[in-house]
Structure 1
Amino acid sequence: MTTPLSIVQAAYAAYGRHDVNAILDLVADKVDWKLVGPPQIPYTGQRNDKAEVATFFTQLEQTDDTLLFEPREFIESGDHVVVLGFLRGTARAEGKLIETEWVHVFTVVDGKIRRWRGFADTAARFI
């Protein structure tokens, strides 16, 4: 049986393989996808469909060099999954090492990710 937790875990496994197409297969055609952060970071802001989510991943890849991306805890409640994790990477433009904990909040309906919110210390790249 497919559960919201299994969908979210499959998305992280696909990200670990750098398989954006597999992630997009798990995303609803119309989605509410947003990384909260300042507009100076190209991949922050609202995305509303699969093409825009694909752009999110392209911009992420072009902007930062991820050294460690580690989901550490999964908390499931009905259609919602909250994931707590840690990131270490380099902001290419600033040449700065970033280390931050992050929180991702998913809503999964009918086997598809319908909503995603990402929160991290985006100010760490500018300090």
Structure 2
Amino acid sequence: MSETRAVVEEFFHRAGAGDFARMPELFAEEVDWDVYGAEEVPWIGRRTTRAEVADFFDILPRHLKAEEFGIHQVVVDGEDAVALGYMRQVVVTTGDLFVSPFAFRFTVQNGLITRYVTYEDSLNLARAFGVV
């Protein structure tokens, strides 16, 4: 198994177990991170350090409750991987559903994630969060 696949699988194992406190350990000290969407959603935006990644994993579970989160396929090409899946989550503050297919892009170098970019229905998320 490739190092990239192993790290990505561990990322999803920890996420699925709700082990958000240990998620930052998977990331390099410097990271190219982008979660696109409405700036009013607390966890959206760019991050560049492991400390900022830790902040994300502290904020996210306070705002979303996963009802369904499934990975359909992980494609690995050397240091790069893309995970394709589907999520259904409840926004805690509104009670509204956020439902979206997704693609998460990873780059893994020296056993740590150095790039993380999400592609999801950010308009649907903003609506569920009540900001549009």
Distance in 2 between the 1:92 and 1:104 partners?
A: 23
Aligned residue for 2:94? 94
Distance in 1 between the 2:93 and 2:22 partners?
A: 29
1:93 Cα deviation from its structure 2 partner: 2.7
SS of the residue aligned with 1:62? helix
Aligned residue for 1:43? 43
CA RMSD of aligned residues (A): 1.5
1:2 Cα deviation from its structure 2 partner: 5.2
Aligned residue for 1:58? 58
Asked whether the equivalents of residues 2 and 111 of structure 1 are also in contact (C-alpha less than 8 Å), the reply is no
Q: Deviations over 1:48-82 (max 9, x none)?
A: 11111111112111111111111211000111000
1:83 Cα deviation from its structure 2 partner: 0.3
Q: TM-score, normalised by structure 1?
A: 0.91
Distance in 2 between the 1:52 and 1:113 partners?
A: 14
Residue type matched to 1:117 in 2? V
Aligned residue for 1:105? 105
Asked whether the equivalents of residues 11 and 22 of structure 1 are also in contact (C-alpha less than 8 Å), the reply is no
Q: TM-score, normalised by structure 2?
A: 0.88
Count residues with an aligned counterpart. Answer: 127
Asked whether the equivalents of residues 34 and 117 of structure 1 are also in contact (C-alpha less than 8 Å), the reply is yes
Distance in 2 between the 1:43 and 1:85 partners?
A: 20
Q: Does 1:72 align with 2:72?
A: yes
Distance in 2 between the 1:23 and 1:94 partners?
A: 26
Which consecutive aligned stretches of 4+ in structure 1 deviate over 3 angstroms post-superposition?
none
Distance in 1 between the 2:110 and 2:87 partners?
A: 30
Query: Unpaired runs of 5+ in structure 2?
Result: none
